Structure 1
Amino acid sequence: MKKKVFSIFLTLALSLSMGVTSFASSNDLSSDSDVCKSFSINEYDVVTELRSNSDQDLEEKGYSEDEIKEIRSDEYEQDLLKRSQLSDSELKSEFNYNEEQIEVLKNYEGEPIQEVPEMRAVAATCNGTVSCPTASSEFIYIKLNWKWTTAPSFRTVDAAAVRWKGTDTGGNPLNVALNNNASNSYCTVNYVYFAGEKPSTSVKKALTVTDSYGKAYSDFAMTKISNGDINQWAKSGELQIKVDKTGTKPIKEVAVCFSYGHSTVSASGVSVSWPAGFSISFSSGVTTMFTEPRRVSNTGSITSY
């Protein structure tokens, strides 16, 4: 990288850190328009963290020999290098980069990404929120929204998953059942065209329900084909659940854990597992971008789990 990029990187890093700090600070609020919990994950961090593991560590985490080779390859660098060859107008219209990010990208020469920390400023970042649209002692709606700042370099199959458990007003465990009506519990993925990021289609999917009393997920392709070309990508989405009380006892609160998995090696599908405790795991090749356990009360307030 050329040395002049360093000053640009400082400006970008400062603006990004300020943005993340503002985005991550949240209050326990009750309406859908209020941010209850926020997160922000950068693809650069995901790649460098994976590469920091030894081959043995990756094997113990379930990665195959071919997947480890893919992690060690320069696939990520090659994608960024291809982007650096595009015109400024293409980078603005297709990838939503600003002038400073474009200058950083134009000075990239294909070095191993872990040796070029300034490239974090141009890597795709996934931002999101957990919120509660409506709540009562009879039922609670809970929603995860996410949105990418630009198209991630790895675009195969991603997934969003959720698990939950209820408590009654006496503080005792309470079965709360997923209301799997398509208007209440679903996953919607919004695709845009690479050229100009014009809205394309929104795909609404029913959830894959592992346990009606506590576990569901949805996986989805990160790209779409139109007229024989891969010309659309999944920029944003939401996963919503509605859970209802069972029996006569009212709901006091529902503990909920959302997780987002991002494929960082070639994958045709995603499997989800539910470890003991209150967490979520994805199959090898799918990196857990975040796991957000929270408590949602029957008034709609959200607090730490």
Structure 2
Amino acid sequence: MTHHNLDNHAAAVAVLGLGPMGRALAAASLAAGHPTVLWNRSPAKASALVAQGAMLAPTVADAAQRASVVIACVMNYRAVRAILSGLERPPSGTFVNLSSGHAAEARDMADWAAQQGVSYLDGAILTPAPTIGTAAATILYSGPRALFDESLPWLESFGGSSAYLGADVGTAAAYEMALLDLFTMSVGGLAHAFALASTEGIAPTAFARFARGIGGLLPDMADRFAEQLTSGTFTADISTIASAASAVAHVRDAATAGGVDPAPLQAVQSIIERAVAAGHGGDSYARLARSLVPADPAEAAR
């Protein structure tokens, strides 16, 4: 592929990494009318975007020096460091890392960026690639407020909600990991439930009709968890942890009888049983969130 001569071009946005999400970000930037420069280890992935008007940089340095905002969207923070390690000077614009990782990695990355003289924002994309550039996209950002405000005219081109969470650069990653925890555990539970239903000959389509109703319970439960965890009061208006202990035991036995791996249920059962043993059997499910973190002496006394 032929690289564009960038000597006389300035890009509003540079996108480093052209996986599905990186390509979606670049396409949204182009659709919003921003001059956009691309870099990827495999230049062929840029062909469709170049046809739409993007500029392809031959090196990371070329891309990073010609943009008001430089976006990295690659596999992880190690990959980001590897990409930037060869730069002789920092990016000319604000560097925004939208790669996945946990909060400590984001803070380490910010420290590294400060040492290199790089203006740095961290971010987390909460929605899949097809949503980018549409109202359904949600991207979280954290880091210096001034950098976010300066970059917002370009970040808004990615669509939906660009939510600023605060100066602690690790906050966006912290949200992402907790939400991925919810998604991962929910998908695991869904797969386990379909497997268990299949052992009794229940057709997947028939089971899905009722499984959707279980998912519908979660929004209200999330609100109740938030309210009770904030107040520290775990009144069981609906169900108790003790009743959950009985329910999970029944399901574990059913899984074992049906030849379905009971390990996920055993893990949940262990969490519930520890809470009951600690005297919280009469509390609401929200108490389990407190039981999962290391004990705080002040909290233990409550």
Q: TM-score, normalised to structure 1's length?
A: 0.21
* Greater Rg over alpha carbons, structure: 2
* Greater percentage in strand: 1
